[in-house]
Amino acid sequence: MTDMTKGSAPSRRRQRFPEISTRAWEHPADRSGLVALRKLTGFDDVLKKLAGLVSERSVRLMFLATAVKASERQFPELYDMVRDAAYILDLEKVPDLYVSQDPKVNAYCIGMETPVIVVTTGLVELMDEEELRAVIGHEVGHAMSGHAVYRTMLLILTNLAARIAWIPLGNLAVMAMITALKEWFRKAELSSDRAGLLAGQDLQASMRSLMKLAGGASLAEMNVDAFLEQAEEYDKAGDLRDSVLKLLQVLPQSHPFAVVRVAKLKKWAESEEYRSIMAGAYPRRGDDPEATVSSQWKAAAESYSQSVKDSKDPLMGLLRDLGNGVGTVGGKLRDTFTGAGRGNGSSNGASKDGGDSQD
């Protein structure tokens, strides 16, 4: 890692956030878990020992041997970007950045004690300067939040699941934990998208970078506003069967889908929370010990509740009905999955209901 005290900080016109706490950008569901882990005395030491199973030192040596380490002489623009992101988010030790020869578009942060950021040549070739700045800021956010804890836990549990697959109940319990960790990590990705926005301070670039992950390099053929409309179409889903399919599709994923990430990031960029951070009113690291686990879990619960209220997804609508004590929920489920009510009488109602959700 590079010491930011050596040499001058990158000269950028973006706003800097001295002493900013990672709580400022962490999604409530991500933050609640992180605060709980940080309260556990000795937990970091245990995870660092378990991380030895991943051979962090070996991975670092492998990148030194097979990838290109960014510096003033190699990929200097990328080197400046990671220094810039660290400067803006007030991270004293700048993570080393490696460029790996790989046509797949990818970037990731590994390591717990000394995080390392890796970007592939496929990603470097796909993104423009401001998009790369958002991506690198995203990875710096991972490093600052300590999200490598999740990766380590996931890897250990995945290996364990493979070894005890022959024990039905034991494997079921481990798979339940893996599913929960993946949900946690999906929220960690939303957190780091926010960190990338704070580092780059260019919402359009942040959204373009996510759109390119879905559609490739032909930016002239794509449109951010149309992609946001696509996200709204995905949220509406169609009917309850589509909602169930979406749920089944997302459960195995470690990352949220691109349209979801774009919509969530835009919503956060328009929030009072983001405006307060940009105005200098944000949580400081010195106040981190005062963050209680109970308050963070409450914030997480409120976040999920608000997501249900705001969503146009039919399944979320059903959950709202359940919460409001609506007595026709059973009828709705029956009609949806049996096809009852379709074709009874006029077709106008059916085409109207179906048209909005499928166009």
At 349, the amino acid letter reads G
Question: Phi/psi of residue 103, each to 5°?
Answer: -70, -20
Cβ distance 78 to 132 under 8 Å? yes
Distance CA 138, CA 306 (A): 25
Return the SS3 of 355. helix
Among 129, 139, 270, 302, the active-site one is 139
Question: Phi/psi of residue 281, each to 5°?
Answer: -100, 90
Q: Is 302 a catalytic residue?
A: no
Question: For 52-56, which contacts have Cβ atoms below 8 Å and span 24 or more sequence positions?
Answer: 53/155, 53/156, 53/159, 54/152, 54/155, 56/110, 56/111, 56/112, 56/113
At 36, the amino acid letter reads A
Question: Can you list the positions of beta strands (E) in the chain?
Answer: 2-3, 68-69, 93-94, 96-100, 107-110, 116-120
∠ CA 255-310-214, nearest 5°, is 30
* Residues annotated catalytic, as ranges: 139
